[in-house]
Amino acid sequence: MDGILLQQIVNVISLGSIYALFALGYSLVFSVLGVLNLAHSALFMWGAFIGLLVTDRLEMPLWVGLIAAMIVTGLLSVLLELIAFRPLRKRGAARIAQLISSIGAAILLVNIAQLLFIRVYNRVEAAYPRGLVPRQPIIIEELGLRITPARLIVVIAALVVMILLQYLVTRTSLGQQMRAVAFNQRTASLLGINVNYIFLMTFFLAGALGGLAGVLYALITNVVDPFIGQNIALIGLTAIVLGGMGSINGAVLGGFIVAGIQIISIDTVGSSYRDALVFLLLFAILLIRPQGILGQPESTRA
């Protein structure tokens, strides 16, 4: 097999697994609550930021940073549910109102991070400490392949978490309850499921996934600033629309497809059109097949 092609595949898999993790968080909240949490990208950024603080300021190893980031973003996500979503749901407000409140929360989170960045680093940009991951790439000569340890960590961490999530959703009682709530809230609460608790758990999981994606992303790019969430917000949206809103497997599939398109397009049409291509795809999918690749069409009802 062609070495360059293989290298591309490795890049698609590592970038794609970050996108997939991120999109999973979007998708989880959407499937269970039916709302889009646009503050999810801010949690992604916070994950990268917490990872930075833990490994750089507290000089802890990477795995502590990963776990700390997941816990903090998970809790932030729970806070979002309590402040930005639950009051509106109680009032029976439109889905759009929840979208707007999540935009407000995103702005708030980004700006708080910005203030903290300036307090801690005197500027709004910082890099992960040098010795955190070995820099020496792993070279497989027969295949002409170079894999940096960071990318390896990304793929392994993402894979492990995705398998755990799959297990949690399909095999555990929490997962069953989540699926019941996603299917029909009223029926679920009649069955004695504590719907509000399930919502909190869903938000925690989604936030932790977003935070993890943030740390992994920062490991590859090496730079953290308060605005790294902006671009991935749209990439994540594209991924979930592509895969079918609310479909867990669809989010993963969508994440990998977007990563594939981005990496292929750098070689074919140039990096400046990379994002344009992704959004054109988003556009096209919405118009041609709004339910996405793996989604079910909404049934027409009077």
CB of 198 vs other proteins, minimal distance in Å: 21
The count of other CB atoms within 10 Å of the CB of residue 86 is 16
* Residue range at the interface with other proteins (CB under 8 A); choices 160-168, 202-210, 237-245, 256-264: 237-245
Which segments of 83-205 are extended strands (E)? Answer: 126-127, 138-140, 145-147
The dihedrals phi and psi of 284, each to the nearest 5 degrees, come to -60, -45
Q: 177 vs 238, which CB is nearer to other proteins? A: 238
Q: Which of residues 144-183 bind other proteins (CB under 8 A)?
A: none
Per rule CB under 8 A, is residue 286 in the interface with other proteins? yes
Among 33, 54, 233, 242, binds other proteins (CB under 8 A): 233
d(CA 23, CA 240): 6
Q: Which residue in 28, 45, 76, 106 binds other proteins (CB under 8 A)? A: 106
Please give the Cα distance from 92 to 103 (Å, whole number): 19
Q: How far apart, in whole angstroms, are the C-alpha atoms of residue 48 and residue 220?
A: 11
Considering the complex, state which of residue 15 and residue 109 has its C-beta at the smaller distance from other proteins. Answer: 109
Name the segment binding other proteins (CB under 8 A); options: 6-14, 96-104, 130-138, 190-198.
96-104
- 172 backbone dihedrals φ, ψ, rounded to 5°: -95, 165
H or E stretch at 267: helix 248-268
- Report whether 292 contacts 243 (CB < 8 A): yes
What CA–CA distance (Å, rounded) separates 206 from 33? 12
Residue 43 · residue 263 · CB < 8 Å = no
Q: Is 241 in the site for other proteins (CB under 8 A)?
A: yes
Based on the shown chain and the rule CB under 8 A, indicate whether residue 91 belongs to the binding site for other proteins.
yes
Report the residue from 60, 97, 174, 266 that binds other proteins according to the rule CB under 8 A.
Answer: 97
Contact residue for other proteins among 110, 193, 258, 261 (CB under 8 A)? 110
Scanning the structure block, which residue is given the tokens 């949206």?
A: 237
Least Å from the CB of residue 121 to other proteins: 15
Q: Which is nearer to other proteins, 63 or 283 (CB)?
A: 283
Q: Does 283 bind other proteins (CB under 8 A)?
A: yes
Total chain residues near other proteins (CB under 8 A): 48
Angle at 221 between CA 216 and CA 222, to 5 degrees: 90
- 228 counts as binding other proteins under rule CB under 8 A: no
Q: How many CB atoms lie within 10 A of CB 153?
A: 20
Residue 263 interacts with other proteins (CB under 8 A): yes or no = no
Q: Which of 15, 88, 165, 252 binds other proteins (CB under 8 A)?
A: 88
Cβ-based neighbour number of residue 226 at 10 Å = 23
**Cα–Cα distance, 213 to 59 (Å, whole number):** 21
Site for other proteins contains 125 (CB under 8 A):
no
Interface of this chain with other proteins, residues 10 to 39, rule: CB under 8 A: 35-36
- Strands 126-127 and 223-224, how do they pair? antiparallel
Among 87, 127, 134, 194, binds other proteins (CB under 8 A): 87
Q: Where does this chain bind other proteins (CB under 8 A)?
A: 35-36, 83-84, 87-88, 91, 93-97, 99-101, 103-112, 114-115, 230, 233-234, 237-238, 241, 245, 272-273, 275-276, 279-280, 282-283, 286-287, 290, 299-300, 302
